[in-house]
Amino acid sequence: MRFTTLSVVLATTPLSLAAPARNGGGHGHHGHKAPGLDDLAKEAGLLYFGTAIDNISLNNTKYLSIAHNTSDFGQITPSNGQKWMYIEPARNVFNYSMGDAIIKPAKKNGQMRRCHTFLWHNQLPDWLTKTNYTKTELIKILENHIKNEATHYKNDCYAWDVVNEAFNDDGTYRKDLWLDTIGPEYIPLAFKFARKYVGRETKLYYNDYGIERVNNKSLAVQAMVQKFLNEDIPIDGVGFQAHFTVGRAPTYDDLRNSMKLFTTKPLELEVALTELDVRIQLPGTEEKLKAQADVYGASVKACMDEEECVGVTVWDFWDPVSWVPDTFPGYGDACLWDKEYKRKPAYFKIAEVLSA
């Protein structure tokens, strides 16, 4: 699963999802302009280098000019716009405006799309969480939701994160609405429903954080995938969210070893880094930014060196809109561009790794 030139990418990717041919032929160098991260990723054999975009940024023209610069970002993920609370705010009432606001411009711009997410324990509407549904009712609701959303975005997505974060760190199932009402079979059911309604070429992913080392959680995901394959449940890939902290991040070897749980026989799935960011304890210093750059570099190199790792997505690229400070008080500056829209050492480190 290694793609060495853009022409190969076009040959192996359905045209509706493929990256566009670049000006100046296969390698995407624009005149004398230095190649961006997506240009370099494709030359290194990856399918894409991408970013998540949130709806709060859509009225910021400076931000959008970076987000839609295909030299840096060949793929886009809506960080919130396709989540349940926005897509189905009332039962069987669907609103695609937030998802469309990110997917449509990316499509028009020739950027691939990773779609996120059909099923998660979080950001659910009250009508879902505040009613006691029976198992049969909730399965119907789940299928109806996936059917409607998948049909709306049919053939728009290179991949869908079908189920997000279903495990605890100790490898047990996360207790939530789905597990409590349906039981563990809600996960394979979601994948079956997804396969039934998404485009034929769309890859189905399980996505989680904390699986970037070989540990109880990653081994539990591996066991689940093995069971899927034994029972003919459709799954194509595993997404490593890769939300890291300077000083506590997995090493290159940690990541490679964990990826191998899924990419080698008998599973042989593809993998991707789906939400990469590297937070630092504030205030930032030159030293911390260098350490951050090293974590970004090692993470991207792990993907580049893993034959079945198809690409890297950063979880937004501009520090002021990162989710990190709200979620981890005292931490921040997790992205590749600083508040002045300047590229940080991490950007150049990634470029160096991809060029090597």
Q: Is residue 37 included in any domain, yes or no?
A: no
We report the CATH number of the domain holding residue 211 as 3.20.20.80
Q: Is residue 21 included in any domain, yes or no?
A: no
pLDDT at 319: 98
Could you give the CA distance from residue 38 to residue 304 in angstroms, rounded to a whole number?
12
Q: Is residue 336 included in any domain, yes or no?
A: yes
Do the bridges between strand 331-332 and strand 270-281 make them parallel or antiparallel, or are there none, so unpaired?
Answer: antiparallel
Residue range(s) defining the domain that contains residue 134: 46-355
Q: Is residue 93 included in any domain, yes or no?
A: yes
Q: Is residue 23 included in any domain, yes or no?
A: no
pLDDT at 32: 64
Those residues of the chain that have pLDDT short of 50 are 3-30
pLDDT at 30: 45
Q: Is residue 9 included in any domain, yes or no?
A: no
pLDDT at 33: 80
Q: Is residue 194 included in any domain, yes or no?
A: yes
Count of domains observed in the chain = 1
Annotated catalytic sites, by residue? 165, 275
pLDDT at 4: 45
pLDDT tens column, 106-137: 999 999 999 999 999 999 999 999 999 999 99
Q: Is residue 278 included in any domain, yes or no?
A: yes
Tell the burial category of 334 from Cβ atoms under 10 Å away from its Cβ (0-12, 13-18, 19+).
buried
